[in-house]
Every structure is written in C-alpha cells, then in structure tokens.
Structure 1
Amino acid sequence: MKDKEERKLQFVLRYYTYGKLDTRKALRKMMGEGQSHPSGRRWLYFSGIAAAIFLCIVGYHILWNGKEPHTVCLTAETGVTRYFLPDSTLLILSQGATVSYDADTYGKECRAVSLSGKVYFSVRRNVHAPFLATSNYAQVKVLGTEFEVDESRQDTATRVYVKSGKVVFKARYGKDGIILTKDMCGMLAHGDEMPVVSRPAFPNPSAWATGKFIYRNTPIEEVLKELSLYYGTPLYSSAHYRTITGEFKTDNLEEIIALIEKTLDIKITKKSR
C-alpha cells in the first residue's frame, strides 16, 4: 500500500510545473468570463431600440390625449350677429347669445356646438357628420336644416322651432326625444325628461334672424299681434276678419303698415301704451 502511494507521488512530481495550473483562471473559464457573446449583445441592442420606440409612442399618445382643446367661442354682445362655421353652416346669434366648438374635432365625425341664449342655425347638409347643438338643458340633432333654439327666456323652458327640414329634440341627458319637421315647435320644461310638441306663438318665430315676415292667408289680427310684439308698438284694425298673403322685410314698420293698408284697403291704428 505504501509502495503504491510513493509511485503516485513520484508521477505527480515528475510532470508538475510551477504555475502551470491556475485555479482562478480555470474558474473564470468555467463561469464564462472573458468570452464574447455576439448573440447576447445583439439582443440587448435590438431590445433597447424597441424600448425607445415604445416610449416614443406612449409619449406621443400622452401628449396628444392631454392636449388642450382648441375652443372657439362666438358671441353677440351688441346685437344680432352672424357667423359661419368651418363647414359654411350659418349661425345667427341674438344679443347676449354664445356658441362654442372645438376647432380640432369639428366636422371630423360630428359637428358639435354648445350654445346659450337664442340662436338660429342654417345647417349645411352632411350625412356623414351629423350636427349636434347642445344647450344647458337640451340637445338638437340634425343632418341639414334651418332651426332655432331659444333658451333665453326666464320661464325655465327651452324652445325649438324648425323652419325647414327635420330635427330630433331631446333633453340634454335624455335617451329619447321628439321629431320636429317644418313649421313645428317643441318645448322642454327644465327638469322634464321629454319635450312636447307645441304651437308657435306667431307665424314667424325666427323673423329676428331671417329679416322677413311671411304670411300665407293669415288673419290680419294675428299679423298685427306679431308686429306689435316684434316692434313694441300696439297695432289695431277693425277689419280683423280680413286675411293677407305676402312677404315683408323687418326693416321698417311704417312701410309694412302702409303696404298692408294699401293691399287690404284698411286702416291700421297705433295705440299708445
């Protein structure tokens, strides 16, 4: 047994060279240090590019979605004022009324405006982008028509009058509404869920905007009531049974009276208040 161990020791001493066996170097080799890994470097390189692209996309969406809307506000401070929207829709605002819209989104999928007061709309038809007018209490949706929204009175009601075409009139947060067509009027009492169809108080609710009184076989008594309210001057005629058909500009009351008197051969009297 002893002879066998001596032979092994002599073998080691015969072939051993100092410094030939470096255990630290062998350990580093086993752990992979000092070796190049081109595939690993490529993975890190491309993953870095992908991460940068992802951050750019996320940043773009954050900036875009967080961007302040470009709101345009139209007002009528001194009297009746006319404006055209980007799609050539005409707005006529009564004194004190306002209309606002987002210039960045208007006309892309929907033509949405917000309003207060009394506003007349002549909407350019576009079947691909419905027109949506929203007031404090109501909402009107159309494709193309002429209508008026009046929320200027202090009697807690919103009124809509349709001069031509067709509209859907509903409460601002309501699900269902009513359909109004030419010469129809609707009224929504504030707090109610549904508007109701009502009769226009006078033949020309939108004369303030259109600049015209149009009568078709209308009783003279009804005509004089409308003119009295519009101009703030009480008018009277004993020939209240007569009717008239005609079109008059709103510019001059005296001219309207003279034309009616001549056409019907009657006398119209101005009453003092």
Structure 2
Amino acid sequence: MIDKTKQFEKLMMNHLSENISDNDEGVLLDILNSDPKFKVQYNEMVKTRAISLIPIIESEKNSNYKNLLQLLNYGLSLNRQPVFLQYFFKVAAIIIFVLSTSISTYYIYNGYNNSSKNLMSYETVVPLGSQTKIVLPDGTVAWLNSGSTLKYNNSYGDETRTVNLTGEGYFEVQKNPKKPFLVYANDIKVKVLGTVFNVRSYADENAIEVDLLEGKVDVSFESGNDTKILSLLPNEKMVFNKANKTITSHKVDASRSSTWTTGKLCFVDATLEDIAKNLERKYDIQIEIKSQRIKEELFSGSLDLNQPIEKILEYIDVDKKYTRVFNGKNVSLINQK
C-alpha cells in the first residue's frame, strides 16, 4: 500500500500539472478502483474543504461558473472517468490534498480573475521526521528536508521558473538559458540557469545558506534602496545574516551540504546545540540541553540518520560527558555527575 500511495501521489501531481501521459491516466484510474480507501480518504477531505468554501462559491457562481467548468474539464477524458472521479475532480479544483503517510501536497485553485490565466498554486509540505523528492514540471528535481515547504504556481515555466522555499532544499536544475530558475528564500533570491545547489532557510535559524555544487548562481538581496548580488562558483558557500543583513562567502566542500539527501549529516566543528536542531527535525523530537558546556561542545564527523536517535547521541558523546534521558519525544542531555 505504501508503494501504491507514493505512485498515486506522483500521478496526481503529473495530472494536475497537465503533464500526464495517456498510459499514466489509465494507471491512475486503476489505482482509484483498486482500493476503496483511496476514494474514501480523498472524498472526505475534499468534501470538508468544499463545504467551508460554499459561501465564496455561491457569491461568485454566476460570473465564474463557465470558467470553472472549463478548468475542471482539462484532465481525463469523460468517457473514461467513473462517477466518483468526475465528482472528485470537480471538487478537487477547489483544493486537493495529496497525502502519503508523511508528505502533504496541496493544489489550491485561486479563483478566476481578469487575467487570461486561472492560477493554481502547488505546495509541498514536509513534516518533521520526513523528507521527500519531487520533480517540477520542467524536470528539475528538488529534495526537501524535514520541516520544509516548497511553493510554486501554474505560471511556472512561462517566463521564469519560480519557487518559494522555507526550510532546506537541494535542487538539480534542468538547463534552460531562456527561462531562469529562481528560488525565493526569506530575504534572498537565488537565480540559476541550470545547476546543482543546496539552500537552507529555516525560519528559526539566524542565517540563510547557499552551497553550490555545480554551475553558477547569483544570490541577491535588498539592502536599503539597493539590490546587492553575490555570484557563487562550485564549492563556494554563501551565508546571509538575517539580523544585520550582511552576506559573506567562503570555500567549502559543497557536497557535504547535500548528504542529508542520502540519509547522512556531515559536520565540521559544529556545536552540539546546532547538531541538536538538525536531529530534532529529522527525528521529530525535542532535545533539551541542560548545560551551556554541553551546548558548546564541538563535533566533527558524519552521522548515519538510519540509526535510532539513541545510537546517534551515544556516538556523538565520544568522551561520555553527558547522560541522556528519554521521555517520549523529549530528550534531555545532562552533565555526567
């Protein structure tokens, strides 16, 4: 069921981005008919959301009805749709939740406006303790780390390829000199044409980091009335300080920044406090360090995130300086007496 759920999610993403083959349409229908759980799960979610939007729909029904119908009929041919699927896609144009056991992807119809295009937003949310890989409409691959969100809309690829990132993402960008790939991450914008890079921009961290593995990127940010731009070459790292709005760069082994995509984390002289933040997201736990001395302990090495958190914390404590106390999802690190 897990494999089929992931396949279902991928097919739905392709269908709603109008990038699905006739063969995959048939596979999607087969999955829908293979298990009533799929129909029940999505039906209930869509109904709940649709009910909450009834006042809005009613107020705009007369002016938007024909346009909405045109939007709703862009997908599978009607002679192949079961009754459930016809109903499902009509409501799903308002909002669809594509859920696996850990990843949520939202497709939000923003309504008809005076422009020539109806806007639909796509949002992938990765909860704590998970990570995922998605393929954007142009074939660009994006890995999203725990606690991350990636957004884009259906204007993606018209003139530019624009996404908004909160959290951490690793991108393998398809080359297209005519349509730059843009990542907006809090206060900065990363512009590329085709390259491989990692962006880290968590809301609860003081800095935004960009590591370049291949190609070239331009990182820009607003400073007063000016826009400042910093260009990076392979194995260079940019650090943007959110507090004082300063930007620096230095040489690194950029490949280390993306090891999380393979289930590992690499650190060089990192404090235990910083390491704990990464582990909290990965394992969906809370780590309380009850000693300033322990917080400032430095660690260099690689962590295998396929190991249980108990083993990870034991491995980091090479000198046996603290005691670990586990209470559900809460972990306390206390000085050895």
TM (normalized to structure 1)?
0.54
Q: Does residue 171 of structure 1 match 2:221?
A: yes
Match of 1:117 in 2: 167
CA separation of 1:141 and 1:71: change in aligned 2, threshold 3 A? same
**Structure 2 gap ranges (5+):** 1-66, 68-111, 267-298, 322-337
Give yes or no for contact 1:139–1:172 (8 Å, CA) kept in 2: no
The aligned residue for residue 92 of structure 1 is: 143
Are residues 71 and 203 of structure 1, via their aligned partners in 2, closer, same or farther at CA, if it must alter by over 3 Å? closer
Q: Aligned partners of 1:156, 1:201: CA distance in 2, in Å?
A: 22
Change (3 A) 1:210 1:139: farther
Larger proportion of strand: 2
Q: How many residue pairs align between the two structures? A: 171
Q: Deviations over 1:124-158 (max 9, x none)?
A: 11001000000111110000001111012734210
Partners of 1:196 and 1:127 lie apart in 2 by 27
Partner of 2:51: none
Residue of structure 1 in register with 2:282 after alignment: none
Q: Is the 8 A contact 1:94 1:117 kept in 2?
A: yes
The 1:235/1:177 distance shift into structure 2, 3 A limit, reads same
Contact 2:126 2:146 in 1 (8 A): yes
Q: After superposition, where does 1:152-167 map in structure 2 within 5 Å?
A: 152=202, 154-167=204-217
Equivalent residues of 2:212, 2:232 under 8 A apart: yes
For residue 176 of structure 1, report the CA deviation from its aligned partner. Answer: 2.2
RMSD over equivalenced CA pairs, Å = 3.3
The structural deviation recorded for 1:205 is: 1.5
Are 1:225 and 2:275 an aligned pair?
Answer: no
Q: Which secondary structure state, in structure 2, belongs to the residue aligned with residue 154 of structure 1?
A: coil
- 1:197: which partner in 2? 249
> Partners in 1 of 2:209 and 2:302 — Cα distance?
20
- Label 1:69 to 1:76 Cα distance change in 2 as closer, same or farther (>3 A): same
Q: Distance in 2 between matches of 1:229 and 1:152?
A: 22
- The alpha-carbon distance between structure 1 residues 172 and 79, as it changes in their structure 2 partners (threshold 3 A), is farther
Match for residue 207 of structure 1 among 259, 263, 274? 259
The residue that corresponds to 1:101 in the other structure is 152
Which amino acid letter does the alignment assign opposite residue 69 of structure 1?
Answer: L
- Establish whether residue 182 from structure 1 lines up as the match of residue 234 from structure 2: yes
* Identity value in percent: 26
- C-alpha separation in 1, matches of 2:197 and 2:254: 15
Q: 1:207 to 1:168 in 2, by over 3 A?
A: same
Q: TM-score, normalised by structure 2?
A: 0.44
Indicate the residue corresponding to 1:79 in structure 2.
130
Amino acid aligned to 2:151: S
Q: Deviations over 1:249-268 (max 9, x none)?
A: xxxxxxxxxxxxxxxxxxxx
| Code of the aligned partner of 2:124 | L
CA 1:68/1:191 → structure 2, altered by over 3 Å: closer, same or farther? Answer: farther
Give the deviation of 1:226 after TM superposition. 2.5
User: Which AA in structure 1 matches 2:187?
Assistant: Y
Which residue matches 1:13? Answer: none
SS at match of 1:208: helix
Q: Determine helix, strand or coil for the equivalent of 1:206.
A: helix
Contact 1:170 1:194 in 2 (8 A): no
Quote the Cα distance in structure 2 between the aligned partners of 1:202 and 1:233: 25
Please report how far the alpha carbon of residue 88 of structure 1 lies from its aligned counterpart in structure 2 after TM superposition: 0.7
Amino acid at match of 2:161: R
What is the identity, as a one-letter code, of the residue corresponding to 1:118?
Answer: E
Q: 2:198·2:211 contact (CA, 8 Å) conserved in 1?
A: yes
Q: How far, CA to CA, are the matches of 2:182 and 2:255 in structure 1?
A: 26
